[in-house]
Amino acid sequence: MSKGYSLESVNELSGGDDEFITVLVQTFLEEIPPDLEGMGQAVQNNDPTTAYQFAHKMKPNLQLFGIDLLKEIKQVEAWSKSGMEKSEIESILSHIVATVNKAINDLKADFQ
């Protein structure tokens, strides 16, 4: 089964420094779960401004770890400015949550 993440960009950024890679992974594991939860809560509470902020904040970390959700994150950002109902974004949010949780679980298994 394939990993939910890629270290290609992390390795480029770190220059192969294993300690730096570990710090990046730890930072990801500390910051992303609460951001993911916050984005989900914001969508459920129909708070598009907060959903946008969490989506926007998560984007660089997801890209750094090769988690291919840019299209979906942009959809959350667009939803937050569109005035559409939360039902319009819930399936996309579910996909984001499932994908990010897989990456989190894989990173925890590989680095802890």
Sequence ranges of the domains in the chain: 8-111
Give the tokens for residue 22. 């570990």
CB atoms within 10 A of CB 57: 14
Structure pTM?
0.92
Contact 62, 69 (CB under 8 A): yes
pLDDT per residue over 44-101, tens digit each?
999 999 999 999 999 999 999 999 999 999 999 999 888 788 888 999 999 999 999 9
Please state, in angstroms and as integers, the Cα–Cα distance from residue 19 to each residue in 10, 16, 51, following that order: 12, 9, 33
Question: How far apart (Å, rounded) are the C-alpha atoms in residues 71 and 55?
Answer: 11
